[in-house]
Structure 1
Amino acid sequence: MFIRLMDTIPPRFTFDKSKTRILRWRNNAVSIYVMKNRFSFDDSKGTLRINNLQKSDSDKYSLDIQDSNAAAVENRTLNLSIQAPLSSVTLVNECLSQGEMRMSCTTEGVGDSPQYSWTLDGHTLTQDELLSGNKDTDIIVLRQDMSGLLSCSVSNHVSSISKDMRIATCVFINCTLSNGMHVSQWVFAATNTLCVEPTTVRDTTADHLICGLRAAVAVLLLIGITVYFAWKKKKSSKAEDPENSVCMVEMRSAAD
């Protein structure tokens, strides 16, 4: 990192970090040089270089310029703030006791001084949509039955990142489980696994076999009924036909 201290090198000046002297310039040369491995001054450009920049380098720096007689000419100050870029953002939602939804927006990594903003379907959240909390904080609470695409944006001076989530629906469940435990709470409808009756998986092979047997019995019964009525009809026809009648004749001798 380079800090431009001046355009023209004055006869005398000092550069301090808070109350720690970094360097002192006298007679066209540096007379005091603290932490040479971290700080280096280029007198041809009037710039100070900070090597291996660290968060601890965030501080107030001052430049005191003097004339050749050591009389004060000018004092300049610099507030240096070292910030790391933001990493990924995570959104976490939770149903509360009255069906409200709490949304938490957290940054992962080493991002510094994050600032938050929330939007719903592209517009900034209003007080009618917020039950509690400020739209500029990392945690908000939305009123019951809110819907749409919620977005959390996080930024600092060196980076910006956002995360979207489709708002889930909270539903109230009230039931007794098979183990006797009573459940009464608000849960997300899409992921609810409580108060759901278990589904019995039927053996389709057995069902098919039973249906086959029933069909076979029905066919055999139909065939039996058809044969019976055909036989009965045939018998009735024979009884009415004289040619098919049988006569019994007893023959006796003349003597009788």
Structure 2
Amino acid sequence: MEAVFGLLLMLLGVAHGVETHCDGRQDGAQCYGAVGGTVFIRLMDIIPPRFTLQKSRTRILRWKNKTVSIYVLKNRSSFDPSNGTFRISNLHKNDSDKYLLEIQNSNGVMVENRALHLSIQVFAATNTLNVEPTTVTDTTAEYLPVMAGVLSALVLLLVLGVFVFRRKKKTSAKEEEDEEELTYTDVRVVQRRHIQQRDEGEVEYGQVRISE
């Protein structure tokens, strides 16, 4: 039981606060993250004169005249122009959405637009381990939902284990009490039978004396 509980805490600790990396340079890219964690999205290789990043038609990032402006996610995000990476930290469930990148030339004419989908997984736990940053590939992306299912199964097994253990303990205690009562009753029956045998012996002895 203690081993299962320890494994559960370990898996929960790994899931929470993890850093994930996503390649958003292709249209339709799928990105994943964990609630409370951080995601690094690679938007481009070469920084264009102008571009904007929108979420549900709300501008969250703008690059113009070599100056970056961040909206909405100002306290939780940043953009690194040296490698074209956009970072979102302390991820929330509502960060899951479709993000649209619009690239423009120096005249403000749009020359390219791409979309990426960000999905944030929910893990209700507190980080208890030091986790190295991991890169989200297609395999890792499939692994996150599987981990959520494994965690749910472990929680269920833990609850069932505690229930069975307590029920078994109560049953054992009841059997011990029943056994003690049965033994006590047997002793009393034997004692009463012994007293009756002694009474019968005395009556027979008295009858012999009267006859004599």
Higher relative contact order (CA 8 A, sep 6+): 2
Bigger fraction of residues in strand: 1
**TM-score under structure 2 normalisation?**
0.49
What is the TM-score with the length of structure 1 in the denominator?
0.41
* Structure whose CA Rg is larger: 1
